[in-house]
Chain A
Amino acid sequence: DAMVIQNPRYQVTQFGKPVTLSCSQTLNHNVMYWYQQKSSQAPKLLFHYYDKDFNNEADTPDNFQSRRPNTSFCFLDIRSPGLGDAAMYLCATSRVGLVLANDTDTQYFGPGTRLTVL
């Protein structure tokens, strides 16, 4: 009953060779997030989609792009991976992505894709 699915779980690419990571969800949530988690570090938000609206974090490198062709799928494209981009990439979803006065969304995370750059 996986709700947030990430493929592949492990990805190996070469320095400079474009790579795409995939995320899909069965929750019909409006918001999808991509986080980068380097070894022994906290997950760091790269960007998120609210429906089709793309929201990029200010310090996300231009090398990282994202696509959301429909509600269920979201892709992370790394145009020219460097050695420093080796990390676990986590996809998450939430229903409305709002912090309300008396409630807030829970973010549901996928299992992650571990990217190795050779």
Chain B
Amino acid sequence: AQSVTQLDSQVPVFEEAPVELRCNYSSSVSVYLFWYVQYPNQGLQLLLKYLSGSTLVKGINGFEAEFNKSQTSFHLRKPSVHISDTAEYFCAVSEWGSQGNLIFGKGTKLSVKP
């Protein structure tokens, strides 16, 4: 069965510092990978997704993620964060051949301090 692990439940950083949010997955088949962001009391918004091709994926708001098949990881990065990036970030997978159901990690709360 597929699963997603986000090792860090909370990540505090200072404004303009770089950040990396970690995501590891397990699956017996090929997967698609996603990062969603959730601002307080709002729904989920897609940041970026990896389907195939280049392992470095660029998303909205200056975020990017790198797919590493050998390490089964899909870490999210941003070189310089803003206060407005404070939110919860969810990594998710969807298996090839499925109906597109998403399996989410437990989320990482990013807190950007001035």
Interface string of A87-98 (1 = CB under 8 A from B): 000101010011
Provided the pairs A42-B90, A104-B32 are in contact, do residues A31 and B100 lie with their beta carbons within 8 angstroms? yes
- In this complex, the member of B9, B90, B102, B107 whose beta carbon has the largest number of chain A beta carbons within 10 angstroms is B102
Asked if A82 is an interface residue, CB under 8 A from chain B, the answer is no
Provided the pairs A55-B99, A97-B99, A98-B100 are in contact, do residues A104 and B94 lie with their beta carbons within 8 angstroms? yes
Q: Which residues of A contact B32 (CB under 8 A)?
A: 99, 104
Task: Name A96-118 residues within 8 Å CB distance of B.
Answer: 97-99, 101-112, 114
**B11 → A minimal CB distance (Å):** 14
Q: How far is the CA of A106 from the CA of B41 in the complex (A)?
A: 21
Which of A12-20, A43-51, A66-74 is the interface stretch?
A43-51
Chain B residue total in the interface (Cβ 8 A):
27
Q: Which residues of A contact B98 (CB under 8 A)?
A: 99
Asked if A4 is an interface residue, CB under 8 A from chain B, the answer is yes
Task: Name A71-89 residues within 8 Å CB distance of B.
Answer: none
Q: How far is the CA of A6 from the CA of B42 in the complex (A)?
A: 11
Asked if B114 is an interface residue, CB under 8 A from chain A, the answer is no
Q: How far is the CA of A92 from the CA of B101 in the complex (A)?
A: 11
Q: How far is the CA of A43 from the CA of B38 in the complex (A)?
A: 11
Q: Which residues of B contact A103 (CB under 8 A)?
A: 51
Q: Which residues of B contact A112 (CB under 8 A)?
A: 41-43
Q: Which residues of B contact A41 (CB under 8 A)?
A: 106-107
Q: How far is the CA of A103 from the CA of B39 in the complex (A)?
A: 27
What 10 A-B pairs have minimum CB-CB distances, sorted nearest first? A109-B43, A42-B104, A109-B44, A111-B43, A97-B100, A42-B106, A104-B32, A97-B99, A110-B43, A112-B43
Residues of A within 8 A of B (CB): 4, 6, 9, 31, 33, 40-45, 48, 50, 55, 90, 92, 94, 97-99, 101-112, 114
Residues of B within 8 A of A (CB): 4, 9, 32, 36, 41-46, 49, 51-52, 90, 94-102, 104-107
6 contacts across the A-B interface (CB closer than 8 A) = A43-B44, A50-B99, A99-B95, A99-B96, A99-B99, A103-B51
